[in-house]
Structure 1
Amino acid sequence: MTGAGRGTAGVLGLHHASLVIADFQAAREFYGHHLGLAPLERPELGFPGLWYDLGNGQALHLLRVPNPDPTERAVRCGQDRHLALRVDELETFAARLEAAGFAVERSRSGRPAAFVRDPDGNAIELIEDGA
């Protein structure tokens, strides 16, 4: 049944999520190199940005536009708005980010999940696939 029982119209899944960035090089390094996401071709939209493939027809859109939010956020990542990504080998992935200088915060719930902030302060949750 689709559309929460309301006939045929309804949400089918996530198409993309968008985050605001300030520095292209820092974003490319974090999302492309450290997270290992593959870039997608992006049409000319009248403002700069980057797109990355999240798999299964889903994408991450990074927007270089004025940021209305503070990049320094005095709240734990798990209590902040965030993007959650499935990963394999969470501890290996987290160790690689920590070695690159990113603070990784393990989930307090005990489940195999961790949080990291990108160079612009956006919170990213990493959840071990199958958890």
Structure 2
Amino acid sequence: MIRHEGIHHVSLIVTDLERSKRFYEEVIGLREIQRPPFDFPGAWYGIGDGGQQLHLLVHVGETLRGGGIDTRDGHFAIRVADFDETIAWLDRCGIEHRHNRNSITGFSQIFLLDPDRNIIELNAARE
């Protein structure tokens, strides 16, 4: 049996690294961490204090998603401390999102797209 310790990282394909870095730093609030000197561009970010990471990988071409926010499509989720504060921040940043305070999941959910149309879920404990 495999003994799991947690998710180490999620990798996303991006087409414009600088645009994506601005989004993940300025909107999502992630901090960039050191990345090995690969022979292709990208960026790594630390998420929270548990060692989880987000890796951005530059890929020339189209991403697969062409439509809008689809909450049933592949995505990754980041737990946030305050649902209402996060909604207010996304509104101030002009970021389109869909949210459900009373999701059947038992926690509140917010879905949005990054500049390359990767789906992100931000979720929070219900108060």
TM-score over 0.5 for the alignment? yes
The structure with higher relative contact order (CA 8 Å, sep 6+) is 2
Q: TM-score, normalised by structure 2?
A: 0.85
State the alpha-carbon separation in 2 of the partners of residues 13 and 66 from structure 1.
31
- Give structure 1 stretches of 5+ with no counterpart: 1-5
Paired residues of 1:16 and 1:59 also in contact (CA < 8 A): yes
Q: How does 1:1-131 map to 2 (within 5 A)?
A: 6=1, 9-55=2-48, 56-67=50-61, 69-74=63-68, 76-107=69-100, 109=103, 111-129=107-125
Larger Rg: 1
How far the C-alpha of 1:25 sits from its partner, in A, is 2.2
What SS class does the counterpart of residue 20 from structure 2 fall into? helix
* Shift in Å, 1:90: 1.6
The answer as to whether partners of 1:77 and 1:116 remain within 8 angstroms in 2 is: no
Aligned length: 123
RMSD (CA atoms): 2.1
Identity %: 33
Structure 1 residue runs of 4 or more that deviate by more than 6 Å after TM superposition? none
Q: Which has the higher strand share?
A: 2
